[in-house]
Structure 1
Amino acid sequence: MIYEGKSLKLTRLPKLLQTTVSLEEPLFPDTSKKILGIFESLLQQGLISQKQYSYLVGSQPPRPRYFYLLPKIHKPADKWIVPHRMPPGRPIVSDCGSESYGAAEYLDFFFSPLSKLHPSYIRDTQHFLDNIQNIRIKEPCFLFTMDVASLYTNIEIPLGMAAIKRCLEAHLVEGRPDKELLELLHLNLTLNDFEFNGSYYLQVKGTAMGKRFAPAYANIYMTEWEQTVFQKCRKLPQHYFRYLDDIWEVGTHLEEDFQNFVEELNSHHASIRVEPTISKTAVDFLDTTTFKGPDFEQTGILATKVFFKPTDTHALLHKHSHHPKHVFRGIVKSQLLRLLRFIQLVFYCEVYYLGNKLSKYFKNYNKTSYHCAVEPVTPASLSLSQHK
């Protein structure tokens, strides 16, 4: 999409719309009947209660799904669709109130626990930090991260369905309606029609952000992708963790071996490609930076600190907002605790330095935020032991 004068004209279809076909009329009214039939069958089998049935089918008639974009303002402005004027967009298909909304939530209930069973699973930043604190690394080594490009919309539907089926078969649970789950998943993936700019489209590849089960579905697919591609790789990283489509690794091989590893990953499935970043000293992952601190050669332990994107203005709440005073104080405290937990501190004097740096940091909030009355920090006023 680009600007022409003051008007916005669609001259380049968003990536999601490139994996769709046009429709003359919506499909969701007929899809609704199919989903209702599956839920009625589950009700008759006693696998869901009447109350659950009413919740899952939702309000009738359902509304169509709508496509929209979330601007990726964190991307470099010189690489925007219109440099410094229009950022690229993250495709979202809103599923709220649609005929499949309850079905998507029902699928997520069963898929989400299964998506957390793989060895590289990372729940959140704290879970990541807990994991890397237990590893010891020897030089020479490289730190690298990889991002799976447009994962949700690049999962081939037959491959995704097969991965889910094998996962269900590998983790059998008595009373779980696997047959109905696969039927609901097939309807969600193959009949995901939506409205955009007054026209209707049918998504024919991948799943859209907006489906409740999408993160778990992608996670299970990536688990199988990892298991199969690693069998082909000649050399594997020493440590490997993944948060959905974001990957963090440590390699003790040569840089050339890493490049070969990336080529092997990108040749495994035609639609799944990774975009790597490699460094001998530091990499950014989630909202942390992992790096080789001054004592790395002696301990083999990576140091960490908080990572802020360049577009982060730290504007958490406007200073004139009518929130209770304790909310403002809570924001300051929570940010202090976050940085204390994320930053690996070796000497107590570093706590003193960090505290005074944060005092200045919060006082920089002006018209777009609020002034925080942060008292000068002394070593006695901060105790790591009581905040861990």
Structure 2
Amino acid sequence: MTRAIVLQTIVTACALVPPCFYNLSKHAFLQLERITHDLYFKQLPRNLIRCAQSEYKIIRNIQRLLREQPDIVVRRTDKSKVFYIGKVDDFERKAQEYMLKTQAYVEVTNGRCPLADNLHAVQTLLDYLMAKNVITRKQHNKLLLNLNKLELGHYHGLPKSRKSGTPLQPIIASINAPATLVSKFLNDFLAPMFLQVARKITFINGIDVVRKLEKYVSDGRFKSATKFITADVTDLYTMIPRQGALETFARFCLKHSKRGKIGTFTIDHIMKMAHLILDTNTFIYNKKYYRQIRGSAMGSAFT
């Protein structure tokens, strides 16, 4: 960071400080600027310089190795910032094993890219909702992605380094898929209601856990025989039967609706959007098209 950038940052920060604290904050920011300046121009000890040079050489050697070895792939691991280095063949083998085990995906064998069909399905539903005065023209246009950016989802697996055998967590990267904005819209629309309903049985963060545990104790429910149990569901996103999930979702919406509607949407409108999101969950992997027929995609806002 240059001195000019540091000074500009300090000036900007000072402008955001209330007038009553201006002198105090100005003094603090000037001290911060001086410390930053000293650290930036201070000569590093020789041992740190040698260490930095050694690590730089290691990084350059790794970069060269990766360029010269196309059969090596680097991926960020699931639920961590650690990187995993493995063989391309291993990743492909694990992906195929996962597909065979879960039976959640089928190959699209008609030779046609599903992108156009998915886009048509999205446009048809949005036209229908607008004709029913459920959404406005402005909302209709906002829920359609730019045609120049449209693309199918892409499958990639994130290594679960914390588990035996390092299985893959399947991710469908569908940020530019036709139904992506519809998925985000439905999630944003229903999330406040769901969070309110599930608040009593949901932990928001660590502090929330502590507070609920304290209440549990104060209510006299904490005993010497009390057990804390954790569970891990294997292949969560692909093990849930789709029809059962949709029926459960419909009952939830009906239970918390008012006269059969949530906002301007009837339960039927919401279910049509849910079906659309699930039915257009297609992606490309290894130059082949696939459609998910079981569970839901990990990477879609609604699911």
Equivalents in 2 of 1:153, 1:7: separation in Å?
24
Separation of aligned partners in 2, 1:203 and 1:7: 23
Shift of 1:102: 1.1
Residue of 142, 145, 148 corresponding to 1:55: 142
Residue 111, structure 1, aligned to residue 206, structure 2: no
TM-score when normalising by structure 1: 0.48
Shift in Å at residue 44 of structure 1? Answer: 3.0
State the 1:34 CA deviation.
1.7
Which amino acid in the other structure matches residue 187 of structure 1? Answer: L
Kindly provide the CA deviation profile for residues 1-47 of structure 1, in whole angstroms up to 9, marking residues without a partner as x.
x99x9652533415256411111233231121121121122223333
Flag the 1:189–1:14 CA change in 2: closer, same or farther, 3 A: farther
Q: Select the residue among 171, 184, 187 that pairs with 1:92.
A: 171
**Superposed displacement of residue 70, structure 1:** 1.3
Q: Which residue of 1 aligns with 2:241?
A: 156
The number of residues matched between the two structures is 203
Selected match of 2:229 from 128, 144, 149: 144
Contact 1:32 1:100 survives alignment (8 Å) = yes
Higher RCO (CA-CA < 8 Å; seq separation 6+): 2
Q: Which has the higher helix share?
A: 2
Q: What fraction of aligned residue pairs are identical, expressed as a percent? A: 22
**Residues 16 and 153 in structure 1, CA contact (< 8 A), matched pair in contact too:** no
1:67 counterpart = 2:155: yes
Structure 2 Cα separation of the partners of residues 115 and 154 of structure 1: 22
Residue 45 of structure 1 is matched in structure 2 by 132
- Map Cα deviations across residues 207-241 of structure 1 (whole Å, 9 max, x no partner): 01110112xxxxxxxxxxxxxxxxxxxxxxxxxxx
Which contiguous aligned blocks of 4+ residues in structure 1 show a shift greater than 4 angstroms? none
Cα 1:14–1:177 change in 2 (3 A) is farther
**Helix, strand or coil for the counterpart of 1:68?**
strand
| 100-109 vs 20-29, which moves further | 20-29
Aligned-residue RMSD, C-alpha: 2.4
**Alignment-mate amino acid for residue 282 of structure 2:** D
Letter in 1 for 2:159: P
Give yes or no for contact 2:118–2:178 (8 Å, CA) kept in 1: yes
Alignment of 1:258-277 (within 5 A): none
Q: How does 1:139-218 map to 2 (within 5 A)?
A: 139-172=224-257, 173-214=262-303
Q: Is the 8 A contact 1:193 1:200 kept in 2?
A: yes
User: 1:174 Cα shift?
Assistant: 4.4
**What is the rounded CA distance, in whole Å, between the counterparts of 2:99 and 2:214 in structure 1?**
39
Residues in 2 aligned to 1:114 and 1:153: alpha-carbon distance in whole angstroms: 25
Unaligned runs of 5+ in 2: 1-70, 73-85
CA distance in 1, matches of 2:88, 2:186: 41
Match of 1:123 among 183, 201, 204: 204
Matched AA of 1:162 = E
* Deviation digits for residues 174-196 of structure 1 (CA, Å, limit 9, x no counterpart): 42243222112112213311100
- Measure the CA separation in 1 of the matches of 2:132 and 2:278: 25
The answer as to whether partners of 2:179 and 2:280 remain within 8 angstroms in 1 is no
Gaps of 5+ in 1: 81-86, 215-388
Q: Which protein is richer in strand relative to its size?
A: 1
Paired residues of 1:67 and 1:93 also in contact (CA < 8 A) = yes
TM-score (norm 2): 0.61
Matched residue type, 2:134: L
- Give the superposition deviation at 1:145: 1.3
The residue that corresponds to 2:17 in the other structure is none
Counterpart-to-counterpart distance in 1, 2:99 and 2:141 = 32
Match of 1:35 in 2: 122
Q: Does 1:15 align with 2:98?
A: yes
Judge conservation of contact 1:38–1:180 (CA < 8 Å) in 2.
Answer: no
Asked if 2 retains the 8 angstrom alpha-carbon contact of 1:112 and 1:213, the reply is no
Of structures 1 and 2, the larger Rg is shown by 2
Q: Which amino acid aligns with 2:171?
A: I
